[in-house]
Structures are given as C-alpha cells and as structure tokens.
Amino acid sequence: MPTPGNFSLLTTDGPARRAQLTTAHGIVETPAFMPVGTLGTVKALCPRDLHEAKAQIILGNTYHLYLRPGDDLVARHGGLHAFMGWDKPILTDSGGFQVFSLSSLRKITDEGVEFRSHLDGSAHLFTPEKVLDIQRNLGSDIMMVLDECVPYGADAEYTEKSLALTTAWAKRSRENHAPGRGGQLLFGIVQGGFHKDLRARSAEEICALGFEGHAIGGLSVGEGTAEMYELIASTTPLLPAEKPRYLMGVGKPLDILEGIANGIDMFDCVLPTRNARNGTLYTSQGKVNIKRAEYKDDGSPLDPCCSCYTCRTFSRAYLRHLFIAQELLSYRLNTIHNVHFFLELARGAREAIETGSFAAYQARYQAAYGESP
RNA sequence: GGUGGGGUUCCCGAGUGGCCAAAGGGAACAGACUGUAAAUCUGUCGGCGUCAGCCUUCGGUGGUUCAAAUCCACCCCCCACCA
C-alpha cells in the first residue's frame, strides 16, 4: 500500500501526464477535476450524487469552515470527512483566496493576515501556522499553505513584496508541518502575478521547500485567456515533474484542457456548480443557457451524449421549467449535470493521454467551445 | 338609490400643471459568472430613429391652459359602507 504523497506517473502524451496521487483516503487518478465544496458541501449535491458522478476528491475551505461552524466543532465530530459523510479525499484551501476576494476586510502583515469576518465583523488573525492547525482539525488529505493571491494588474514592486511574503509563509508552513505528518499532504503555492520573472523566482523558491505538491495560484483573476495560457505554459515546466501540479481555481473546460496539455494534474473551479445554479449548463455541444425561451418546448435531453441522471431522465423543457419556477430541484439537477460534465472532461482526458490522443481530444472540445484563446 | 374611494405603460404600483415615455417591484427577453460573502449580478423592456429628436400612451369624450396622467364637465366601469 503506497503511502500518502506517493505520486506515480503512469504515462505521458507530450507534456500531458497520466498519474496517480495517493492520499490517506485513497488514490486520485490524474488529471483530476475537484468539485468545490467550500462549506463542507458541494452546493446542491450530497455525497451520493458525487459518488455517482465519480468524483474522486473535493475541496473544502479553511476560511469559511473556520468561521462557520468552526474547525474545532468539525474536529469534535470526527473531522470533515465524517462530518459531511464523504470518505474520499478532501483538499482544503488555505484561505489565501479569501485574502484576495475579501480584500476590503483584511490587512496583510509579515505575521499573517488580520481580517474581519464577513459574517459578523469579528476580528481574526490567520498565520501560516494557524491555517495549518485549522486544516489539521478539518483532517483534510491535502492542505494548502497560506498565500497571497495578488490582484490582477499589481505592479512588479507590489508583486515582488507579496511574493517574498508568500515564500516566507511557505517556509514557515513547511517547518510547521513535516512531510508525512498525520498522513496530511502539504502543497506549496507559486505566485508572482503576471510577471514571468517573478513567477520563475516564486517557482524556484517554493519548489525548494520540499512540498508534496505544487500549485499555481493567482490565475483567472481578471486577465485575458491569452495571458493566462501564456503564464501556464511558462510556469508549469518550472514545477518538478515528479510531484503533482495543481492549477488553482481554473477553470472553463478549455482552460482545463490547456492546463492538462501543459502538464497540470489537478484543477478545481466553482464554475460547474455556480453556473448550474445560474442556469448555464455545459454540454458536448457547448454552453446551454437553460432559461432561454427556445427551450420552453424542447423535449430532448440536455445533452444526448451525457450519461448523468439529469440527462438520462429529464427534458430541456422540464429543466427550463424548474429553473424559471426557481424550484430547488433545478439547482440539484443542474449541478448533477455540470459536475458530471467536468468530471467526465477530466476522465476523458486521462483516457486520451493513455492512448496518446490528447491533442485530438482537446481539439474536439475546442470545436464545441470555440477556438481559444 | 346615497356617501366615500378608485380606474396609470404585460401585471402590481408611484406620480396631483411643465424637469413624464412616466419612480419602484414583478413578469418577459438577453448576457456574465474561473482556489464560492453568488439559488448572484448586469443590460433591455411603447413605436420609429442617421440617437438630435419625432410619434403614440395614463377608463371615455369634451374643455381650461403656452403646457394636462395631473385642473374642470359629463359619461362608462370597479370597490367599500349605508339604505
């Protein structure tokens, strides 16, 4: 039985890789898409739905779970796996993204991040160490270090300072959490904004610290697709090939395939779940806005090529009706489908890499979703 | 029969002389969403338009006025209460 952290490369197709990452709660076949379950739930789904969609690993969020219900409470209930009834791997984000998205509520210091709760305004301090303590309470399989997600458009001076801080925090994180401790893996995060030289420096500094995996953070924060792809292409090769590579928060179907083409192994994104709730559904033929009037009388399935429960059972007309009527089932059926689609996207990519046909696989989606960038 | 209240753009509903094609909400029609403060947000929403404007509209008809959804007269509906 391989130990958590073991990452075995099975095969490659150009820079694209097919591998297995071992965690305390099982093996993750990569490339993998990880549905986001910020508050200990992939919104609108229950673990049964996730199993049916063949989800291998999901995300939880340190910041949000710390504030509510509290990581100590989760620990008292046996950790996040037991608490939410999910026995497969969980990756917890550190709260670094919230440092970015809730920027008006926080202040960054060398020590960490002082912030005010978006729920009740109470003051808190996140340090690299504190964030790991929380993630230990949550009992996630993969923990993320605290980082600063630099806003798009930040100049070199700010980015460089931020980068130094992120590296210092990463170092403290590694010192606080020895490899193998508690079976919990620790991933470092490369930042550096949109300055290639700073990205390279960050990659060098972060990868020198001996994390079990490496993430690229700070992308899809407002930049254009071309710029994002350029950065993925230039940064990914700087991450050690023998460790998993995780592109944080990305992305759209084509973004994910582009990442895989460049050698990324793991992805997470709120798009399938959020868009499901907002009526945008992903199909083999491209995006479908299910609230459009043209689907009012459409008795065909959302995507005839899809094997999810939603597509096997219901018509577009019914899905539109549920959405327009704001029925709760709408959110569930839409999310079941979108999550299935993203997981299937990754599963198909794994298969394509195994057969050496990833380029053709990517091209098929480019045809359906528009040439990119 | 009497008294009082009311009829506004698809719906509800503000507006009581000019700044009104008429607040606000809903519906409708589009669009956005990338480590989730998101079951959220944005746009359009009388017609025409070379975007300056022009035309039609506030129960009906007629009138007052430079100007009326707003004032007056009569008429038609609706609601409440009293007989």
Left if phi > 0, otherwise alpha if psi is -120 to 50, otherwise beta: which for A372? beta
SS3 A297: coil
Place of tokens 């429960």: A309
Phi first, then psi: what are they for A10, rounded to 5°?
A: -90, -50
Q: What is the pLDDT at residue A100?
A: 82
Task: Identify the pLDDT of residue A178.
Answer: 96
Report d(CA A269, CA A346) in Å as an integer: 13
- Of A71, A93, A141, A303, the active-site residue reads A93
> Cα separation of A221 and A14, whole Å?
28
CA/C1' separation A277–B26 (Å): 21
Nucleotide nearest to A219 (CA to C1'): B34
Interface predicted TM-score (ipTM): 0.91
- Å between A324 CA and B16 C1'? 39
In this complex, the nucleotide whose C1' atom is nearest to the CA atom of residue A250 is B34
Answer whether A141's CB lies under 8 Å from A23's CB.
yes
Minimum-distance nucleotide, CA of A271 to C1': B34
Q: Which of A13, A71, A141, A268 is catalytic?
A: A268
**Residue A98, nucleotide of least CA–C1' distance:** B35
pLDDT tens digits, one per residue of A275-307: 999 999 999 999 999 999 999 999 999 999 999
Distance CA A362, CA A87 (A): 32
A265 is catalytic: no
pLDDT of A372 reads 42
Q: Are A262 and A236 in contact (CB under 8 A)?
A: yes
**pLDDT tens sequence across A132-182:** 999 999 999 999 999 999 999 899 999 999 999 999 999 999 999 999 999
Q: What is the pTM of this model?
A: 0.94
A325 CA vs B70 C1’ separation (Å):
39
Chain B positions within 7 A of any protein Cβ atom are 28-41
For chain A, 373 residues long, the average pLDDT of each consecutive 10-residue run is: 91 98 98 98 98 98 96 97 98 90 87 92 94 98 96 92 96 96 97 95 97 96 93 97 97 97 98 98 96 96 97 98 97 98 98 98 94 48
Instruction: Give bridge partners of residue A34 from the DSSP assignment.
Output: A268
Separation CA A31–CA A22 (nearest Å):
13
Asked about A255 being catalytic, the answer comes back as no
- The per-residue pLDDT for A2 is 81
Report CA(A326)–C1'(B16) in Å, whole number: 40
Q: How far is the CA of A291 from the C1' of B54 (A)?
A: 37
**Of A62, A54, A71, nearest in space to A38 by CA:** A62
